Chain A
Amino acid sequence: MIPAPFDYVRADSYDAAAAALGEHGDEAKLLAGGQSLLPLMKLRLATPAVVVDVSRARDLAYVRDDGGVLAIGALTRHCDVARSADVTAHAPLLAHAAGSVGDPQVRHRGTVGGSVAHADPSADIPTALLALGASYVVRGPGGTREVSAADFSTGFLETVLAPDELLVEIRVPSARGEAWGYEKFTRRAIDWATVAVAVQKRGGETSVALANMGSTVLRAAATEAALASGAGAADAAAHADEGTEPAADVTASAEFRRHLARVLTKRALVAAGR
């Protein structure tokens, strides 16, 4: 299988990518690690006329400790996030989630920004970032804006990104020393989550994020409220699927997903010491 014909443009910096997007408008598609886009193009589910390859935009690949905030360039690969000393220190939940994406080959190409921009509700990275209270820096001809992880995805594979905008940076408030948990259920080793749950404690508060329980990644609001009013892990986890609308597909029925959300939430809370 090969993609439909397209024109290839190499953009090795933010400026080059912005110029290419400016020139080609919504004919163009950014290619980061290509681990979601190329499979779609090979199946002809995506047929961009122009591919703007930012996989080697080094100015967008970094991990920096910005004084209490971890700043991660959008083009940083999953493998580099997983083994970064800064990420491991300030957001071990994210390092763990990056290490559970796909397989080593996918992690050697795929980027955290590509994962966020793709907005697959079953993806590990956006789920961890939602629990961590991250925000996303978006840049385009109109300037730079910062969007919270909670507001970024507007539906299945849909985001607030305009066609001429790039996700440039992910900002994660440091969670150094705070407890966390991540539970992912898959049918096969390298799969996306059938359901996954990310738990991040911060001070007295506990955030719980769910993968694949709706058209976007979600907060388990009822569980969080129960925890805030003093419920233990088992009682709070019993509410994990409240208000969600999980899909049914070949890997699981909606009812099984609800069951998984409750069980995995309890395990993740226990792992985080709740």
Chain B
Amino acid sequence: MNLTVTVNGTAHTVDVEDRTLLVHLLRDHLDLTATNIGCDTTSCGACTVLLDGESVKSCTVLAASVDGQSVTTLEGLAEGERWHRVQEGFRSKHGLQCGFCTPGMVMAAVSLLDENPSPTADQVRQGLEGNLCRCTGYHNIVAAVLDAAAAKPVTS
């Protein structure tokens, strides 16, 4: 089927099989490979992107379902050379080791801060419950998100 999706601000019209998943639309058709596939069973959150501003697991959304909607991936967060405050938080607090979970973790954190701009450490842990990290033990990820929350959002 033909569908039009705005990804990171650019409208794309693509012809895909009806059964195509959003994550494959992004990775295989639009060459946006920051979004990882981890478990492929809706458990790990590595594939998290924003759909109309809210976090979803893109391995469990049909591409066809987002026709006409707007998707943001990790590639769409920075403004030119200026990183998003969540990216900045992950860098300064070293919120990653191997980095595999990081794109999904960052997108989930962006959605979390949008819904709760000043979370407690506990609320950050709860809010990231859909994202698994096998390396960090989460401690620095929580610190990164709290750091981002304390930074002023960049208004454009």
Contact = CB atoms under 8 A, between A and B. Distances in A.
Contact of B60 (A7, A35, A56, A79): A35
Interface in B37-82: 40-43, 45, 48, 51, 54-57, 59-62, 64-65, 67
Contact of A8 (B1, B45, B51): B1
Given A34-B65, A42-B40, A103 B45 contact: yes
A252 to B, nearest CB: 19
Contact of B19 (A6, A35, A109, A190): A6
B108 A2 contact: no
A102 B62 contact: no
- How big is the B interface, by class? 20 to 34
Contact of A105 (B1, B41, B48): B48
Given A34-B62, A53-B65, A104-B112, A109 B56 contact: yes
A10 interface: yes
Contact of B65 (A2, A43, A55): A55
Contacts of B1: 8
B134 to A, nearest CB: 14
A266 to B, nearest CB: 25
Interface residues of A, number: 30
B7 to A, nearest CB: 18
Contacts of A161: none
A53 B19 CA distance: 12
Contacts of A35: 42, 60
B61 A34 contact: yes
B127 A5 contact: no
Given A5-B18, A105-B57, A31 B41 contact: no
A53 B22 CA distance: 15
A104 B116 CA distance: 12
Given A10-B64, A42-B40, A104 B18 contact: no
Given A4-B19, A109-B61, A104 B108 contact: yes
Given A103-B130, A104-B130, A190-B129, A8 B62 contact: yes
Contact of B62 (A53, A79, A189): A53
Nearest to B47: A105
Contacts of B19: 2-6, 8
Contact of B43 (A10, A109, A190): A190
Nearest to A99: B126
Nearest to A53: B65
A58 interface: no
A250 interface: no
Contacts of A10: 64, 67
B24 interface: yes
A105 B18 contact: no
B17 interface: yes
B21 interface: yes
Interface in A237-265: none
Q: What are the 3 tightest A-B residue pairs by CB atom distance, in nearest-first order?
A: A103-B130, A8-B18, A189-B129
Interface of B: 1, 17-21, 24, 40-43, 45, 48, 51, 54-57, 59-62, 64-65, 67, 108, 111-112, 115, 127, 129-131
Given A10-B67, A104-B129, A109-B57, 13 more contacts: A1-B41, A2-B19, A2-B24, A6-B19, A8-B18, A10-B64, A31-B65, A38-B61, A42-B41, A102-B130, A103-B130, A106-B42, A106-B57
